[in-house]
A and B are shown apart, each in its own frame.
Chain A
Amino acid sequence: MTIPPCCQLYHIPATGVGSVSTTTPITWTIPAGTEHSTFNQMFNRLTSSSRLYPQQVGYWDVRATLFGSRTSGPYLNTLKLTTITPSATIDLARVYGTSAILTADVYVADTAAYFWLDFGGAFTGSSAYATLSARRVG
């Protein structure tokens, strides 16, 4: 039985966090050993904690869920893909709102590329949650 490359990340905000993120990628706060991955290089907790690296040329099913109270809106949640060669960032899926489900299928040609989330605005309080997953499908 072969095992397709896949990885899911969970964002667990620290207690009492006032603002989780602005327009930059969130930092994934993941206890050691709790990420779920069939490929141990897709996620590095220490050096690139907000990124998910597919690492292989192929077709990928990427999904994200988001929730968090916002100070005002609308905020645009975006699932993004950044490639190194060529240097570019593209939006795979977008949606406004305090909660969101995002999904897209994408062909990745750059083995150094990575997926990440842009929340588009700051959260209030500590009630912010997110998941990001990628699974190779072709």
Chain B
Amino acid sequence: MAKFGDILTTDAFDTGATTWDPVMCKVTRTTDVSVPNSTEATTPFGTGNAAEDYKTVAGMHSMATNTDRLVCTRTGVFVAKAQMYVNAEIGTGNAFLVISVTTTSPSATVKTQSWLLAGQTNGSYLNLERTFVVPTDVNTYVTMALKNQAGVALLVKATSWLSLRRVAKLLESDL
């Protein structure tokens, strides 16, 4: 227990793995995937096209079913992060990285997006972070998508990734 006057730059911190109780998962594309023009397509992370970097709760992701989803599996406060590497030639239109948070009961989806400007001639990276609360529905899940309004088909390149992490538990008094 730290007390007033303790020097916090010493090594007096938690090293016990059992106290962390991490709920987190990260998946990364290993191949490119094409998204047609005028389409918003979620990015799949399945066998043969992606890898699970880590997964602390088995139900957070499947490499076979609904592979585009990261499932919260717990109540709490969560942070979803995504990075999308999009190929060249955006053209005169635009492209967006979209993080969607979907609840199953009631069924609803809330989207957050970042914008890749028109006229890019080099491959570009889109980054986005989203914080949200899961009060009751542990089946709430997160996806990332490319909304392609570029006028041409685009590639979501290998190395694009999506991660989900619980950053805080909820107390009964919070609900």
Contacts and interface: CB of A to CB of B under 8 A. Distances in A.
Nearest to B129: A103
A74 B88 CA distance: 13
A63 B78 CA distance: 17
Contacts of A136: 20
B165 A3 contact: no
Contact of B83 (A41, A94, A137, A138): A94
A2 B19 contact: yes
Interface residues of B, number: 33
A2 B6 CA distance: 12
B9 A104 contact: no
A102 interface: yes
* Count class of interface residues, chain A: 20 to 34
25 contacts: A2-B19, A38-B8, A38-B13, A40-B11, A41-B11, A59-B24, A59-B54, A59-B165, A61-B165, A74-B122, A93-B83, A94-B83, A96-B124, A96-B125, A101-B127, A103-B127, A104-B83, A104-B161, A105-B24, A106-B26, A136-B20, A137-B20, A138-B20, A138-B22, A138-B24
**Top-3 shortest CB links A-B:** A138-B22, A2-B14, A3-B13
Interface of A: 1-5, 37-41, 56, 58-59, 61, 74, 76, 91, 93-96, 101-107, 136-138
